[in-house]
A = this chain, B = another copy of it.
Amino acid sequence: MPLAHMLSALEAAIATLQYGEHPPELYDPIRYIMDLGGKRMRPLLTLLSSSLFTDTWQPFVRPDIAVEVFHNFTLMHDDIMDAAPLRRGKPTVHMKWNNSAAILSGDVMLVAAYELLAEITDAQLRPVLKKFNRCAAQVCEGQQLDMNFEARTDVAEEEYLEMIRLKTAVLLGFSLELGAILAGASEKDQQLLYKAGVSIGTGFQLKDDLLDVFGDSAKFGKQVGGDIIANKKTFLLIKALQLTEGEREQQLNNWLQAKDFDPAEKVQAVTSIYGQLGIRELTEAKMNEYFTVGLQAMDQVDVPAARKKPLQDLVERLIYREN
């Protein structure tokens, strides 16, 4: 069970990270958000990527955590910008402390991510740093685009796909690429894994969009239809706005503009419009395109098929997940 072994190595390393102590308002939020859990998907992808090329992935556990720390930094700052009250069912940092503490703790987390990366060997340090910087800037670009889209009603499908590539997918690409770099993989294999991560990561976001509407509420873990209630510009809504016309377009627009409404009724009505337009099937087709491109890139990585099994298993588990 390499995966369980890796996950416990990651959790152990995360549990022993030293961020600093004083003042507590600066460092307690970091421990708090890191302890909220999550799948640890990004550093797991990094370790699995390394293990394609070497059996000694253990030395990479510490620098790998940089991607998890960075990811949680983005969550802490995004939650302020989105005024989100909850994260994984617990109060967000800016709610539990305040906005200033969340800004400043996030800043220190970004520094902590760089400090973890600084453990990488000399020959790899600069290339990793430059790729990480590019990825980090792109994640910020994606978040800004996502906020810009909130105020727009004319977001095109291509714009949306570019936004999720930046906001979500490039970090998965970097996570796989980092593992390959650390393990001394060829430039070609590094690039294939980056491509695989970006493509599969885009698919994951489309999967999230789908689960929010069509997920099984018992398994999903959060309110099904939350995106519909909030008029969130997901792939589904953008596609529906693109395809709908006539009376149905009017109905959809009425729901988008409604101020006073019964949430359950809105979810039911918009989901029904999605159903009439075949939005679920269109989104699944687009998602599967991305998964296919990503899995093909992974197939081309120049190591025996048997070595790829654990990474493929994780990716498939994430593809078929229901929450």
Contact = CB atoms under 8 A, between A and B. Distances in A.
A103 interface: yes
A84 interface: no
A125 interface: yes
Contacts of A214: none
B23 A137 contact: no
A47 interface: no
Contact of A130 (B25, B80, B118, B147): B118
Contact of A143 (B104, B118, B141): B104
Contact of A104 (B77, B104, B114, B130): B77
Interface of A: 20, 22-23, 25-26, 77, 80-81, 99-101, 103-104, 106-108, 110-112, 114-115, 118, 122, 125-126, 129-130, 133, 136-137, 140-141, 143-145, 147-148
14 contacts: A20-B141, A23-B144, A81-B104, A99-B99, A100-B147, A104-B140, A104-B144, A108-B136, A108-B137, A114-B114, A115-B130, A118-B129, A122-B122, A122-B125
Given A23-B145, A125-B126, A129-B129, 12 more contacts: A23-B148, A77-B104, A81-B99, A81-B104, A104-B140, A104-B144, A107-B110, A107-B140, A108-B136, A114-B114, A122-B126, A125-B125
